[in-house]
Structure 1
Amino acid sequence: MTAPEDDAAGALAGTPEEQRAALERWRLVLGEPGQSVLAGGQLSEAGAGRDAALDWLYGRDEDLERRGVRQPRHGGDGPSVVTTVDWLDDITTLFPKETIERLQRDAVERYEIHDVVTDPAVLARIEPNPTLLKAVLRTKHLMNPDVLLLARRIVEAVVRQLVEKLATEVRHAFSGARSRTASRFKVARNFDIRRTLRANLGRYRPEERKVYVETAYFVSRTRRHLDQWQVILLVDQSGSMTGSVIHSAVTAACLWGLPGVKTHLVAFDTAVVDLTADVDDPVELLMKVQLGGGTDIAKAVAYGAGLIEQPRRTILVLISDLYEGGSEHRLVRLVRDIAEQGTKVLCLAALDEDADPAFDRDMGRRLADAGAAVGAMTPGQLAAFVAEQVGR
């Protein structure tokens, strides 16, 4: 076998400076055990700073000691201990923004360094981002009033960014709905692909696997308004659903006040809290959310059922990982009853930018069999779905 430095050097191209920079990156990835990659050389001053910052965070991983990669930490006459404030100041100057956010996320979520969001000195320096917003919501019960006031700055900044982004998508979704009326205006976004294919199937060439279109059809758009629809968001506030709680609050705020839409927002664990009165202020709403605790989904669905005014003009959105701590039988029965009366039931295992669902799949199948649509959506997709229903 060849030495690591030979493998790395053989794969490098470019000037000596570029090769040196690439080898230094390998050394930072591998940590102290990868020192041989530098072939006897040392890290640059900036590289040494990055290495120290990475070691401050990832060096606390207990698995390194188990595998003998490093010796246990202990006190002594070494250099002064780096504080979280020092570390944050260092990474701000040493790494690009994307890396800083990843390091902050690992500090909070992987190593539970809570003073990232509970120490006033840290909060005064930190740049708001979605990861820190989640951390604030998880740890705000640990904060005294002065710290909570500083933490609110993070909540306000990130929520403002999310609202601005989603509001644009909501405005686009509600700007006009496709109607069933044909249009002579040939606009790409109004192309009626189904009618066009049906009308031109006689021109299908099997050997070419192509349909030759003689006549293309388009639809018109109508303004969305008309009859009132209810959108009832039931949000599981267990710890694993933090991202969905945030995006539910933002989505509800963006839907609030739209013509034809009456929005409700309900948070639940083993208790049910109606937050509709604060929907127009997502920052205040999120500061009231209490994450964690058990889960009684059936109780929340029963509460949501009691809010329904016109079943066939209601969308009930259950946002939960579907791990029921109460009665599973009651939950399935309630969903079936609501769906059978004509209400559209969405069971979303995630409502966030990634729409990456993690949920009780057995319960998901049971709810789907009961008449619910089960999956995950981004906030923009949910807004588009609501707009499509309202515009019919």
Structure 2
Amino acid sequence: MRPTDRWRLVLGRYADGRLPAAQHPDGLRYEAALDYLYGREYAGRGGRADDGTDGSDRDLSPGSLDPSAPSIVDWLGEVRELFPRETVETIERHALDRYGLTELVSDPEVLARIEPSEALLKTLLSLKGHLDPTVLGEVRRIVRAVVDDLRRRLENEVRQALTGRLSQHRHSPLAVTANFDPRGTIRANLRHWDADSQRLIVERPLFFQRDTRRIPWEVVLLVDQSGSMVGSVIHSAVMAGILAGLPAYRLRLVVFDTSVVDLTDLAGDPVELLMTVQLGGGTDIAQAVTYAEQIIENPARAVVVLVSDFCEGGPPSHLVAAVRRLVEARVTTIGLASLDGTAHPVYDKRMAQDLADVGMPVSALTPGRLAEWLAEVTAR
């Protein structure tokens, strides 16, 4: 970003007419995102409003419904997309503490009118520590609606990948449409070809048998609950709920910041899990990996999935050493820089490379792709 673009952000609306137009392709988005919040400062001090008036006819006092509740959801999403984590935290703190915007998501009647969405859920989880207890019932309703929708969309895909892969060599007497073997069926029924009608008469359809894993694998899901990971936390909760219901896996669910909390008891209830997590704070990934090392019973049949942005708050060498110990103990590991529907992560690439160098590959996966990966590594 050019110096003049930076000055436009500093000066806000007073840059118009004094500085050249923003050269950065997202310059106008940056300016609009900051003006949405800090433009209130001008009006509050008698500055000029956007329409050229002195702002006295507009109610921009903290807690008003101008702008409307849905726009603050869009605005917070825009801020998270445009700015780095430290800047987002500062902007959100100003919005909460200086301008009182939490009132827009602290009114039960307002929340009751808003359509549940993943974007709204992210906002509510980010602000959960500041919400009035009177809205928690509506918050829980929104959490459940979004979780149920995500689970409906993901469960079939995930379960199909994890409950057993099709065996290309064995057939089953069970007629399951998803397991139909078209080529084998044609070969087995060629003798029933009717030359006159040019049709193949299928007397014996064939269906693949699914491989099943009789000895459960240990899956330890370590989820970073820092503020930047809110999307991944939501999808991790849904993924944990699905995994908890599969007999082929024995799930341990752990969330962490600078503390480590084992939430395995809540793994089967994504709604309660999301109402429990506390987003924000520092990050001690090494401590979480060390905890996983301590609870694993059979390293050769264990998988550790680390969901994080890999912005380690402690000494990086401690994290690298902890991961190396897991790998040397024959634990299968993977680091996920994103576990949501977009798989477009922002993470510490240098830390991720250091972990990859000692045997923990780092990637960005959707829940469906994670399920496929789990099926691959546990199919032995």
TM surpasses 0.5: yes
Write the deviation string for residues 237-294 of structure 1: whole angstroms up to 9, x where unpaired.
1100000111111100011120210111101000000111101111111111011111
Question: Residue 159 of structure 1: CA displacement?
Answer: 0.8
Match of 1:347 in 2: 335
Q: Secondary structure at the match of 1:114?
A: helix
Match of 1:377 in 2: 365
1:163 aligns to 2:139 (yes or no): no
Q: Secondary structure at the match of 2:113?
A: coil
Matches within 5 A, 1:57-136: 60=36, 70=50, 74-76=54-56, 78=57, 85=65, 88=68, 104-106=73-75, 110=79, 112=95, 113-136=101-124
Matches within 5 A, 1:236-315: 236-315=224-303
**Does the CA contact (< 8 Å) of 1:224 and 1:390 recur in 2?**
no
**Does the CA contact (< 8 Å) of 1:236 and 1:320 recur in 2?**
yes
Identity of aligned residues (%): 44
Match of 1:329 among 317, 320, 323: 317
Question: Residue 116 of structure 1: CA displacement?
Answer: 3.4
Match of 1:150 in 2: 138
Counterpart residue type for residue 256 of structure 1: A
Counterpart residue type for residue 258 of structure 2: T
**Does the CA contact (< 8 Å) of 2:59 and 2:66 recur in 1?**
no
> Using a 3 Å threshold, how does the CA distance of structure 1 residues 145 and 62 change in structure 2: closer, same or farther?
closer
> Using a 3 Å threshold, how does the CA distance of structure 1 residues 62 and 88 change in structure 2: closer, same or farther?
closer
Write the deviation string for residues 309-332 of structure 1: whole angstroms up to 9, x where unpaired.
111111101111111111211111
Q: Secondary structure at the match of 1:224?
A: coil
How far apart are the structure 1 equivalents of 2:60 and 2:318?
55
Structure 1, unmatched stretches of 5+, are 1-32, 34-55, 90-99, 189-218
Match of 1:225 among 195, 213, 222: 213
**Does the CA contact (< 8 Å) of 2:33 and 2:78 recur in 1?**
no
How far apart are the structure 2 equivalents of 1:169 and 1:382?
11
Question: Residue 220 of structure 1: CA displacement?
Answer: 5.2
Counterpart residue type for residue 329 of structure 1: S
How far apart are the structure 2 equivalents of 1:73 and 1:60?
17
**Does the CA contact (< 8 Å) of 1:349 and 1:357 recur in 2?**
yes
Q: Secondary structure at the match of 1:292?
A: coil
**Does the CA contact (< 8 Å) of 2:283 and 2:311 recur in 1?**
yes
**Does the CA contact (< 8 Å) of 1:336 and 1:370 recur in 2?**
yes
Counterpart residue type for residue 105 of structure 1: D
Counterpart residue type for residue 36 of structure 2: R
Counterpart residue type for residue 295 of structure 2: L
**Does the CA contact (< 8 Å) of 1:266 and 1:273 recur in 2?**
yes
How far apart are the structure 2 equivalents of 1:329 and 1:81?
49
Counterpart residue type for residue 230 of structure 1: E
> Using a 3 Å threshold, how does the CA distance of structure 1 residues 84 and 124 change in structure 2: closer, same or farther?
farther
Match of 2:21 in 1: none
How far apart are the structure 2 equivalents of 1:84 and 1:172?
48
**Does the CA contact (< 8 Å) of 1:352 and 1:378 recur in 2?**
yes
> Using a 3 Å threshold, how does the CA distance of structure 1 residues 60 and 355 change in structure 2: closer, same or farther?
closer
How far apart are the structure 1 equivalents of 2:218 and 2:119?
31
Matches within 5 A, 1:11-26: none
**Does the CA contact (< 8 Å) of 1:85 and 1:122 recur in 2?**
no
**Does the CA contact (< 8 Å) of 1:339 and 1:371 recur in 2?**
yes
After alignment, is 173-182 or 356-365 more displaced? 173-182
Scaled by the length of structure 1, the TM-score of the pair is 0.67
**Does the CA contact (< 8 Å) of 1:177 and 1:224 recur in 2?**
yes
Scaled by the length of structure 2, the TM-score of the pair is 0.69
How far apart are the structure 2 equivalents of 1:164 and 1:118?
29
> Using a 3 Å threshold, how does the CA distance of structure 1 residues 221 and 151 change in structure 2: closer, same or farther?
same
Q: Secondary structure at the match of 2:36?
A: coil
- Over aligned residue pairs, what C-alpha RMSD do you find? 3.4
Match of 2:191 in 1: none
How far apart are the structure 2 equivalents of 1:75 and 1:107?
24
After alignment, is 296-305 or 114-123 more displaced? 114-123
Question: Residue 178 of structure 1: CA displacement?
Answer: 4.0
> Using a 3 Å threshold, how does the CA distance of structure 1 residues 148 and 186 change in structure 2: closer, same or farther?
closer
> Using a 3 Å threshold, how does the CA distance of structure 1 residues 221 and 358 change in structure 2: closer, same or farther?
farther
Match of 1:362 among 328, 345, 350: 350
Write the deviation string for residues 110-155 of structure 1: whole angstroms up to 9, x where unpaired.
3854333222231121111001111111111112221112211111
How far apart are the structure 2 equivalents of 1:349 and 1:360?
9
Question: Residue 354 of structure 1: CA displacement?
Answer: 0.6
Question: Residue 367 of structure 1: CA displacement?
Answer: 0.5
Match of 2:222 among 231, 234, 238: 234
Write the deviation string for residues 198-226 of structure 1: whole angstroms up to 9, x where unpaired.
xxxxxxxxxxxxxxxxxxxxx95523231
1:140 aligns to 2:128 (yes or no): yes
